[in-house]
Structure 1
């Protein structure tokens, strides 16, 4: 399964960028930095005002009164000097409380040097379930811990305790546990441990081997960039890498693929990203790809279509809309409403990734609602028209906790309009919609901590318990995980059984 590539190549810098910067020689100068009360209070007030003025989902999952108490409580703790990382953890807990996958913070805006200087826990891990974490890839020079070994503790602290301390800091939409599990199960674990728990020189790791025998090993903290080289050289990883990397490298080179399958009467449409390297030309190139693909499906009279959206983290909004048009049979709403909480006058908009001209144009079409929000006039306000070459056969969607952002919007619309059967995990984006579009890139004046704040809320044209903050739920739940952990059928086997009429629905 493609998770190995996700764990190798979708490292946190894709999610975090802009990320971190440290001094030369692998020394984190922030370790020795002490922040004074006035500076911390000024930064906190600056951040709080930015969130209150511009974040469209600040109170979506936490009532305003509770969020206000949280902020007041944190501010009250800034009455004396604090180590930099203690202050960082406090702010990170606030960002996590917002429960938004597009709202995050990292220590500095400058990305240069981080991978060559941060010394981290040298193992990629996987949370097999809420209570069990295992080694997937050994990124050290030691061969004691092999893929599949269950981790019990790090430096004397149980994995359950570590998970509980880090869980909220691994930002995700609403209450989607699958998304947080993925955030914790790749390079994010290394960085979250580094930023929130500690930066030790060595790690004493206790684990259980494949036979349940206790194993104990001591390994040094390693420069993040070097762990990639060690991972490829370490002999304990070779079996897994040889089994999975070739196909995954091919997928990386071809983010959009249509394949007519031979073992079942079906075609597989794989979309690993609604963006990728196509940049501004995405809509045109993706449109041509879909036009060609759906024409082929019609010409070959393909009766079953598997749309693989596993680990598709999103991209351009238009991608989901265009794909949707090939699956509907009548004009259908996709978005319900898009809104912001600022009328365009906030001074923080000078840090946004939109021009003053674009902001002025948006302002012209804004409609102020009774709740104080501002509805935006967008191209997607009207119903989506069905494509004349649309598909009329059976559709199966493969999804997981990394199917987020644009992908989560598409899956919500497809699920609500009953366009097919969903196999896999709860998606990584909220069913009713999420925050995104344009962003404020904020650097706090004194600590230089960087914060990313979305400006627009995308409300999908669906009905459901939006306050629950859950993603699109699969019809056939199957947990996606590295192949070494499978003790039951994987999503591909389940969807093929469905096509053959052999699948049994699981609870």
Structure 2
């Protein structure tokens, strides 16, 4: 789930680096005063507002991390170095919604950090620790799908993955999410790999790669780098070719000759669309009924979440209401401290007093100082049946991207035995995540933005610090990509027609 929220500018950049271009961002130094004042402001905001700051780290551990970075910031740093350092700090919180959101950076900061000609002209996925090509672009177009990049610019691909992973957001200790985010598959306008690899190697105008093709041949190639505009133009062209005019968010549906419907939903970020997505889903289930479909495959691979669109699907898979166990919703503040307000932007000003009427949470281990957000039902949410029930066999395809609303959906499906989860282990965390309401904080001296979630969702009991393991494990491989095979889809088809 990506949030593309317009941000109000904070104070101006330090005089020595006002609105820097890409080259300046790699060379012009920010002063220690600028860096340390921004870090102190970010620390204050996180300690006052973030509900998950100490979910996976003790106060002592987080204080030590702030202190280490403060010591580093006693020396001048470039904007690019500061962005990398702050990304690592936020990633250490282990919250999948706390990061320097590429989409929410002020325009000058985006231009300064992301506009270099240093992007690897490949689409690829990290599979079993290997960098597997899914599509070659531009001068790399002749690299076969399913090839493995063994070395990039002299560095083993496995070492590069290890170098980048500490910069990437994750929920708790469920580390499957990070390789997925570091895959560059053309799904996002800003690829996480492009951003961090580009900041680490800003002048890499030509990429030297050692490739092992599906036939076992090794080749050494020099690939001219792309820039962000070129990468995004290719993505836009791909979307234009495949986009159904009736589904502006990329959802597709069809029923094959075996009578199996496949509903593909690459994202649930439908906040800002006027499209009647609920009506479209009604049409899907009407078609399933009218054509007497025997099975339904719901493909959620690559879908981080967004709105709880899955509730509309669940309502069609049940004939009795189901109660969804609700996590406790906890916040750290009654009202945002006045000195932080000028640096915080959001879509709902009521978030500034989010905890105004909240009740103190009993001080159990790890939950000291929290406030409990009450609502009509604090033990469960209820999903009511809707329309004619789809009574055929159903399967849900899952992967590491599922960490927010899709993670919740997967949990409801599993607990109510509505369908098997097929594919790869999910992202998210059974202990709960942070989200629901957000502030977007623009640090005044560096003009770097950070997303700060405001509501902590804490699961009842003591669930594992993990996502969901699929009921049927169907992992991808380089050989599968080379052959055009989809093991998860094949497993789902076997289930729904058996």
1:363 deviation in Å?
3.8
Q: In 1, are the aligned partners of 2:97 and 2:435 still within 8 Å (CA)? A: yes
Aligned partners of 1:400 and 1:424 also within 8 Å: yes
- Please give the alpha-carbon distance, in whole angstroms, between the structure 1 residues aligned to 2:383 and 2:274: 22
User: Contact conserved, 1:334 with 1:380, CA < 8 A, in 2?
Assistant: no
Aligned 8 A contact 2:436 2:455 in 1 = yes
The 3-state SS of whatever aligns with 1:206 is strand
Aligned residue number for residue 222 of structure 2: 218
What's the CA shift string for 1:379-418, capped at 9, x where partnerless? 6745314215344443311112223321111112222232
DSSP 3-state at the match of 1:98: coil
Which is further off, 334-343 or 247-256?
Answer: 247-256
CA-atom RMSD in angstroms: 3.6
In structure 2, the partner of 1:236 is: none
Paired residues of 1:140 and 1:227 also in contact (CA < 8 A)? no
| Alignment partner, residue 77 of structure 1 | 72
Alignment-derived partner of residue 170 in structure 2: 172
**Residues 145, 388 of structure 1: CA spacing in aligned structure 2 closer, same or farther, 3 A cutoff?**
closer
Residues 121-143 of structure 1 deviation map (CA, whole Å, 9 limit, x = unaligned): 33234244243113333334355
| Cα distance per residue 1:28-52 (max 9 Å; x no partner) | 3211121222222111111111111
Q: What does residue 308 of structure 1 align with?
A: 299
TM-score of the pair, normalised by structure 1: 0.80
Instruction: State the partner residue of 2:489.
Output: 492
> What is the rounded CA distance, in whole Å, between the counterparts of 1:212 and 1:500 in structure 2?
37
Report the Cα offset of residue 420 of structure 1: 1.5
1:59 alignment partner, SS class: coil
User: What TM-score do the two structures reach when normalised by structure 2?
Assistant: 0.81
Could you report, residue by residue, the CA deviation over 1:340-379 in whole angstroms, capped at 9, with x for unpaired residues?
A: 212123333551414444644x445412212321222346
Q: Offset of 1:474 from its aligned partner?
A: 0.8
How far apart, CA to CA, are the structure 2 residues paired with 1:196 and 1:388?
A: 51
Counterpart Cα distance in 1 of 2:217 and 2:19: 41
Structure-2 residue corresponding to 1:269? 263
User: Does residue 367 of structure 1 match 2:351?
Assistant: no
- State whether structure 2 residue 213 is matched by structure 1 residue 205: no
- Tell me if 1:43 matches 2:41: no
Seen in structure 2, the aligned counterparts of structure 1 residues 249 and 29 have a Cα distance that, compared at 3 Å, is farther
After superposition, where does 1:345-360 map in structure 2 within 5 Å?
Answer: 345-347=336-338, 348=340, 351-357=344-350, 359-360=352-353
Contact kept in structure 2, 1:304 and 1:395, CA below 8 Å? yes
Contact in 2 for aligned 1:18/1:109 (Cα 8 Å):
no
Q: In the superposition, relative to structure 1, how do residues 167 and 491 fare at CA in structure 2: closer, same or farther (>3 Å)?
A: same
Instruction: Name the structure where helix makes up a greater proportion of residues.
Output: 1
Deviation at 1:492, TM superposition (A): 1.4
| Correspondence for 2:315 | 325
Q: How far is the alpha carbon of 1:295 from its aligned partner? A: 4.8
Other-structure match for 1:96: 91
- CA distance 1:204–1:315, shift in 2 (3 Å): same
- Which of 132, 135, 142 is residue 134 of structure 1 equivalent to? 132
Unaligned runs of 5+ in 1: 1-9, 234-240, 502-507
**Aligned length, in residue pairs:** 470
Contact 1:54 1:346 in 2 (8 A): no
